Every structure is written in structure tokens, then in C-alpha cells.
Structure 1
């Protein structure tokens, strides 16, 4: 693969990974609420989950959605339900930072599952593969995925670090409640996009 192909692929991966979306908002929230390492576990799950989805889409999963009746609609509703569940949990948060890191942070499997229910991840996979590979060349898809993985991890990780930065300056529960509720509304708003799509 030539440099003239790698650079545009990298730019696409960066733009798709770092731009705001449901997974990015959960990363930001994790950074404000939990120790950094807990947020990075979620990031690792989300990154590997995305790469698994990316390869599956490259192998024809996306075209299968058009063939199997109701599968695309079922995925869409599962994604909406999952995002609403996360936004309700975030909205109801009391604003107190967990002591000793014992509370339940979104983990590896939550990150991986969230990507499979995330329309942004499906669109990024389908459009990236369509634009930068011949679609049936497994070697190109694997190379693109290997390039995408560190970019995705670093992009999502930067949202966790941004949350950790905010956490240093948020010591009053009222401020954290306001931040959490804003993020919860944004997460719920992404469901509206899914409903009207």
C-alpha cells in the first residue's frame, strides 16, 4: 500500500474517530467520573469492537443487512434502546465522584457492544471501505483496519483525557450534574437522529 493511499485513509480514520458521537460522549463521561485506566478499558473495547465491525462490513455484512428482512431495523432499535439506557443513567447521576474507584464504569464489553449498535460506526465502516478499498480485497481491508485501530484508540482516548482534565476542575456535585445532564441530553439527541434517519 502506497503513501498516497495511507495518508487519505489515515485522515478519514481520524475524522471518523475523533468527531463527536455516542461512543465519544461516553468516553468523555468516563474521564470525568472514573480513574483514567477504567476509561481506557472502555476505549480498548470500543476500538477492538469497531475494528471487528469494520472487517465484518468489509466481508459483506453491510450488504447482508439489505438481504435479511428486518435486521437493519432491529439493529437500529437496539442501538436507540442502548443509547437511551446510557443517557438515562447519566441524567440520573448524583454528581458525586466515586470513592476508591468501586462503582461500575462502562467496561470493555460495553465499548465493544456499543460500536455494533452505533450507526456512526456502521456508516464509517461502509463509507471507508467503499472509498478506499476495492471492497472484495481482504488484504486491503485488513491493512486499512490495522491502520484504523491505533487512530481510533488514540482518538477515543483523547476524549477520556479531556474528561479527566475536566474532572480536575469539577469538585462540586452541582457542576458535575450539569455536565452529566448536558451529555445525557446530547446522547439522547443522537437517538432522535436515528429515529428520523
Structure 2
């Protein structure tokens, strides 16, 4: 991969990790409900989990889907069902100053969530098909590393944005409205990817 391709990969990774999607909306929700520090395991789970997913997708999951399309269709159904469940949990949670009912996603849950995230699948499949022309381990590792580096500022900004919003939402009713809005956005963020398939 030459410098031009590396630059293109960096821009692609930057744009795709910063645009709204399930990961970013959940980070913003977590930042607003439980602040930045308690969201760090979730943030690290996204960074490491998505990079690991890229590596595994690059070494054969895409080929498996080509041979068995029913697996891909089944995964889409599981993805949507899980996102509906998460949206319901977010919409029904509320925060108070003394004791928050909102539970941030754990590191392991965030790592595993990448496998049921439609935007994550779209990003991974596109990145592998565009930037791993020679199907080499070196290129694959470089792609995963670039995405990890771009994910760090992305997860930090979205969580910090949620934390800043929390200062405007001291009343429990506002937090409920915010969580309901984030739940709707979470579902809306994956509709374009599902409609496109």
C-alpha cells in the first residue's frame, strides 16, 4: 500500500468512524447518563472489537457469506433484533444524580456488539474490498491499525459530547426524553444499511 492509498484509507476510516451509527449513538447516550470515565470500557471495546472484526472478516468471513448467503441473512435478522432490544433498554432507562439505572456497556459486550452492528459490517466489508487488494496479512493488519487509530478520537468525541449534554439535563424528564430520542436515532441509524441490502 503506497502513501496515496494509505491517505485514502485514513480518510475513509475517519469519516466512517465519526459518522452517526449504533456505536456512536450508544456512546453519546452513555456519556450523557454515566459520564466519560464509566464509558471508557465501552470505548475500548469498540476500538479493539472493530479492529479484531476487520482482521477476521479479511481472513475469510466474507467468503463464508458468499458460499452460504443464509448466514448473512440470519445475521441481519439477529442484528436488527438486538438493536431493537438495545433501543428499548436505552428508551426505558433514566438517570438521577444519586443512583443511575443506566448501565454502560462492558468491554466484552462492546467487543461482541461489533458482530451484530450493521454499520460495522458495512464498514468492514467495504474497507477490506477497497484496501486489501493483495489479500495480504500486512495490508490487513495495517487496515485494522488505521481504523483503531481513527476510532480513538471518534469514541472520545462522541462520549464527551454526551457528557456535555448531561449538564443541560438535570431534570429526570429531560434525561428520559434524551434517552427516547437516542433510542429512535439508534434504530434510524441502521435503516439505510438494511434498506440497501
Change over 3 Å in CA distance of 1:167–1:135 after alignment to 2: farther
The aligned residue for residue 104 of structure 1 is 103
Unaligned runs of at least 5 residues, structure 2: none
Distance 1:37 1:102, change over 3 A: farther
SS of 1:20's equivalent? coil
Whole-angstrom CA distance in 1 between matches of 2:158 and 2:137: 31
Does the CA contact (< 8 Å) of 1:129 and 1:141 recur in 2? yes
Aligned 8 A contact 2:38 2:104 in 1: yes
Superposed displacement of residue 35, structure 1 = 3.1
| Distance change in 2, residues 1:62/1:42 (3 Å) | same
Query: Deviation per CA, 1:38-77, whole angstroms, max 9, x where unpaired?
Result: 2121011011111111011111211211212521122111
Structure 2 residue matching 1:134: 3-state secondary structure: coil
Aligned pairs, number = 196
2:78 is aligned to: 78
Pairing 1:1-197 to 2, within 5 Å after superposition:
1-94=1-94, 96-97=95-96, 99=98, 104-190=103-189, 192-193=191-192, 196=195, 197=197
Taking structure 1 as the reference length, what is the TM-score of the superposition?
0.90
